[in-house]
Each structure stands twice: as structure tokens, then as C-alpha cells.
Amino acid sequence: MRDQQSTMQTQNPISQAQNAVRNAKNATAQMQSHPTSQTLEGAENAIEQAERAIAQAQTSENERAVAESAEQLTEARERLAQAQQVQTQGNIK
């Protein structure tokens, strides 16, 4: 447990952005497989958090990692938009 805590303390903005994007992707996948207003809201929140994390990582020297995270977030946003379109059609409980 101690190693896990020290790892969490040493996370840099890049790893935080990558983790936030991974969470957003997972949330959008869950929302797609179980479309409810709750999972939709969770996906929206996760994407917002990932956007903030990427914004903070923009100051990093590792531009490639930031760009890859931003690209993955764009894909998650697209999945969210598709799900919102389905919700508009009345398919989400």
C-alpha cells in the first residue's frame, strides 16, 4: 500500500491526463453498454475532468503524450455525442 501511495503522489500532469482520459473512455464505454441518465452523466463528468487534466498537461515538454491523450479524448467525446443523440431519441431511461 505504501508503494501505491508514493506512486500516486509522484504522478505528473501527463500521467494524470492519461489516467483521466482512460477513465473517460471507460465511462463512455459503460454508458454505451448500459445507457441510463446516470451513466451518461458519469461519462460527461469524466470527459470534463479529462479536459481539465489535459489543459494542465499542456505546459509539459512531452507534447506527443499530450497530443495522444487529446486525440483519445476526442474519440471519447464522439462516443458521448453519439450516445446523447440516442438519448434525444428517447432511448435512455
In the chain, alpha helices (H): 2-9, 13-33, 37-57, 63-88
pLDDT tens digits along 46-59: 999 999 999 999 98
**More confident site: 50 or 37:** 50
Cell of 78: 464522439
pLDDT one-digit tens code per residue, 61-87 = 899 999 999 999 999 999 999 888 877
pLDDT class of 9 with cuts at 50, 70, 90:
low
Q: Which segment of 8-22, 27-41, 42-56, 62-76 scores lowest on mean pLDDT? A: 8-22
CB atoms within 10 A of CB 6: 9
The predicted pLDDT at position 29 comes to: 94
